[in-house]
Amino acid sequence: MTRKQRIGILISGRGSNMVSLIEAARAPDYPAEIACVLANRAQADGLTKARAAGVPAVAVDQTALESREAFEAALDAELKTFRVELIACAGFMRILSAAFVARWHDRMLNIHPSLLPAFKGLDTHARALQAGVKIAGCTVHVVRPEVDEGPIIAQAAVPVLTDDTPERLAARVLAAEHRLYPHALSLFLKSQMRTAGANLDDRQVSVNQEKALFWPPLS
């Protein structure tokens, strides 16, 4: 059996995508194990959920540190303590510096609640409804210094209904995220194994694009 790679999950709140990754990693044939969960807020609900699941969980409280550099140094130190090989951002609501992203180049993923490159940033569901789109969704991508930029690994589509509100659409997209993130992480890790860690082109991830880019739409 191929060795599982050690994943560190970064969260800021309830950690629902974190839970989906933890559950997926329990499968013997899943290519990842969750080494730790780190939160930038001491009161993040996901910390309690991670500990209940038997995963080490640590708060690196951004309010207790004097600078962005100090926070990122503390975060990096925890990742090294748990021998993390790849970071999965799962509702991590803090922009990381270009220097931090560079240290983890091609080793940090993020999930965003839109079909990137559409609707980067916040308030994605309200903006999608205002724009009148018929299909929304979510994206897992490799992190780059720019917000919500980077090679796309996989996407899941969610139809927009005529009576949707931002809250209703958000709930259905979140359900899709819970299925997409474990799928995309597995694809990415298996691709890395094949390419022996070669740098990714900023426009393409070295996985089977036909299968990975457009995951079957979810209702």
The set of catalytic residues is 112
Tokens of 75: 């975060």
C-alpha 134/C-alpha 131 separation (Å) is 9
- In order of 9, 18, 100, 142, 152, the CA distances from 107 in angstroms are 12, 17, 11, 8, 14
Tokens of 22: 């933890």
CB contact at 8 A, 108 and 101: yes
C-alpha 21/C-alpha 90 separation (Å) is 9
Nearest to 109 by CA among 152, 53, 48, 46: 152
Residues 6+ apart with CB under 8 A from 137: 114, 115, 155, 156, 157, 158, 173, 176, 217
Nearest to 183 by CA among 212, 205, 218, 148: 212
